[in-house]
Structure 1
């Protein structure tokens, strides 16, 4: 699946720039359905692999398109929450599959998964193209109609259009014609891409997949065998959903950076503690510490879901100008899926080489480094329009601040 996502992450960015965000998204529905058809009815290893590649390609493309679309249709006051709902619904989808797997067989679980892209196709056909994409193509009347549809009759559509128009004129005055090449040559794009790549690297290498891999074993030990693998998976999935929902509700009040810094720091601490437990367990000195891995695992999942999980996708939708947004998102998703593939493929080899404890210590160190990276490099975007974020990254406004003002 990771290979399919890898292969499709960059092309979908170009597709979104040529066809538009909505039409590119509509192309994903049939790809998803074809993949699930192979997984439901495939009767050979080759057909199952094709199904995984296709669903991976569609999933990787959706990781690019969804944050871009959400960021471009949302008003700044609720943009963080709406972008956070992307990760929230990913966790809801994970919990959905865990529950299906616990109560049905593989066939009906796959059928249940195939229903989702069918609903997605119908739902996406009912919503409009994004206003920034329409304006960039000179389709101002369509952009005005879309904003009225999105904001309602009482919203000052003309003021929002004027702000977006002024940003386009400013870009033109700075020598940016709206092309991808010229957009990438700006300081704002460079700083935004560095920030985005750092975020997705921490997202994948903080150890979330390793922790989830060991979740069933840790719950089994802590419960004395009372909790089965399916039940522990549902418990972990439910924790992710609740914590991500909380993050989505507070991200527009607490700010992006405070949540990210706190999340990465706590995730790093929990991974280091898990490594210490496995070190003690391997030497027979972990007696009486069965509570430690369970507490560390639960806190790890909650901390990740409060910050690194949802807020990473929020920022990937906010850091880039319209002409580079799809490409930059594709590049970040490409790096993210590359690390996902490497971690899932070589986790066992790494654990054999340095031990399970050493693996968790590496993940913990990456997470702590990620907290420092966010503190010194990643800008705050709370309460700023997408145009203001670009001026901020270009040096027109103070970029680095760790304000956490709750209203």
Structure 2
């Protein structure tokens, strides 16, 4: 639903309005007296979180310059991890009702701060609000004079016109065909046809593949079942401390992604992330196999024997001194995942779709990601029952290795490229190179920042968006 409300309302207004149900949910948590009120509050936060996907992803993609888009897009995932860590820390100090009351400040502050930022220039141009679009670009480029952004504004208008022209030509061709057939399709059917074109289907396939890899590389289930996994593998540190360490390294991984995505590019950093996390799970799977840990002790009997028999067998294994292996490599896999593959699909979602469908397509992609997340967690215990814990971890490792190979051939390098270039690539009208386009940063104040530097590429000027 997030894309459906984002396109007509605008990215900024949609982000503001979604804070209202968030605030309602936190207040309901605080004043709840019955279990159903807790479940209702959880449902509201779930829906609100989903509604937030399209406007945030689209807004960040449409306001940032190419050399900053990867950095700023990855900060959204870093903010999520920071939020989770804050709840862990507050949970150790305060009662939960006090914590949710403190959390009420977040949507209120967010709503107020969003008043002071502009709508995206691309959305304003699509609504023919040209003066507001100029002011938006000038504000976003460091509060420069409006006349300094005229070149960028004209380029954005030119790109929008090219998209509109192609759409009109397509409609005229369709109308001519309909007249010859004696039929006329309604306008909503025409809009739906935008989602049957290569320009939508190809990037949607790539984003869906990356979402699948991010959830079936093992770390989605590790985050949910960490205590059970660490307990079963008899890690040498407290299982609850281990989960806190997981949260910390995931946050650190996000920071590393923010710092290095502009240097290494999205392709390289995600190859490192996906392949590295896959190797970690293969190592843990092999360790669990050699110490004969097949199932979770508290739920399944092993080969008809009791859990106690299984535990005694474990204690007789001579390699028990190597119990640091699973916790080390599982924590490493969590760190490596958040360096890249956990964040990549959210970055791509805001980049790869053309402007006419960007908001709705971002919502569809986010929904697809949540479906994969649900499936990964839902079938995990069943997979362990069928394939054993080592078998499932080997599966995760295999998915990561095969996924790295697939992304090598399917994922173009979008770092430093304009939105127009990226969408033209997925439409089949040009090909992106796999090199990172870097911009030499010039230190200047917002007052004399010219905002738009001509970037000659393939014989024409590209907007810095």
Cα offset for 1:73?
Answer: 0.9
Distance 1:384 1:325 in 2: 17
Paired residue for 1:17, among 3, 7, 15? 7
Q: Deviations over 1:21-61 (max 9, x none)?
A: 11111221111112222222222221111111100111122
Q: How many residues in Structure 1 have an aligned counterpart in Structure 2? A: 395
Structure 2's unaligned 5+ residue stretches are 172-189, 294-313, 441-465
Question: 1:167 maps to which residue?
Answer: 159
Counterpart position of 1:31: 21
Name the structure 2 match of 1:51: 41
When residues 68 and 406 of structure 1 are mapped into structure 2, their CA distance, relative to the original with a 3 A threshold, is closer
Matched residue, 1:368: 401
Contact persistence 1:320–1:328 (CA under 8 A): yes
Larger deviation, residues 256-265 vs 362-371: 362-371
Q: Confirm or deny: 8 A CA contact 1:254 1:405 kept in the other structure.
A: no
Residue of structure 2 equivalent to 1:199? 210
CA distance in 1, matches of 2:282, 2:99: 35
Give the Cα separation in 1 of the matches to 2:87 and 2:248.
Answer: 12
Contact 1:215 1:297 in 2 (8 A): no
1:181 lines up with 2:172 in the alignment: no
Instruction: Report the equivalent of 2:254.
Output: 244
CA offset at residue 255 of structure 1? 0.9
CA contact (8 A) 1:257 1:402 kept: no
Counterpart position of 2:306 = none
Q: What's 2:61 paired with?
A: 71
Is 1:153 the counterpart of 2:186? The answer is no
Match of 1:398 among 418, 422, 431: 431
Note closer, same or farther for the CA distance 1:358–1:88 as it changes in structure 2 (3 Å cut). Answer: same
Q: 2:342 aligns with which of 305, 309, 313?
A: 309
Q: Partner residue of 2:453?
A: none
| Residue 252 of structure 2 corresponds to residue 260 of structure 1 | no
Structure 2 partner of 1:6: none
Q: CA deviation at 1:403?
A: 5.7
Structure 1 pair 405/139, CA: closer, same or farther in 2 (3 Å)? Answer: closer
Query: CA separation in 1, counterparts of 2:380 and 2:108?
Result: 34
1:163-204 residue CA offsets vs partner (Å, 9 max, x unmatched):
211111211332358985354344322221111111111112
Instruction: Classify the secondary structure of the residue corresponding to 1:309.
Output: coil
Contact 2:12 2:118 in 1 (8 A): yes
Q: CA deviation at 1:265?
A: 0.9
CA contact (8 A) 1:251 1:311 kept: no
1:176–1:183: 8 Å Cα contact kept in structure 2? no
SS, match of residue 342 in structure 2: helix
Q: TM-score, normalised by structure 1?
A: 0.89
CA contact (8 A) 2:29 2:100 kept: yes
Q: Deviations over 1:117-139 (max 9, x none)?
A: 22222222221111111111111
Instruction: Please give the per-residue CA displacement for 1:232-253, whole angstroms capped at 9, x wherever unaligned.
Output: 3332222122221121122122
Q: Which moved more, 1:103-112 or 1:71-80?
A: 103-112
Instruction: Give the gaps of 5 or more residues in structure 1.
Output: 1-10
Pairwise CA distance, 1:401: 2.5
Residues 114 and 219 (structure 1), Cα distance of their counterparts in 2 relative to 1, 3 Å cut: farther
Q: Please report how far the alpha carbon of residue 406 of structure 1 lies from its aligned counterpart in structure 2 after TM superposition.
A: 10
- Give the match for residue 122 of structure 1: 112
2:176 aligned residue:
none
Q: What residue in structure 1 maps to residue 380 of structure 2?
A: 347
Contact 1:248 1:310 in 2 (8 A): no
How far apart, CA to CA, are the structure 1 residues paired with 2:118 and 2:439?
Answer: 33
* Corresponding position of 2:454: none
Distance change >3 Å, CA 147–CA 54, structure 1 → 2:
same
Check conservation: 1:195, 1:378, Cα contact below 8 A. yes
Provide closer, same or farther for how the CA distance between residues 175 and 359 of structure 1 changes in structure 2, counting only shifts above 3 A: same
Q: Decide whether aligned partners of structure 1 residues 270 and 354 sit closer, same or farther in structure 2, where only a CA change above 3 A counts.
A: same
Q: Distance in 2 between matches of 1:131 and 1:252?
A: 24
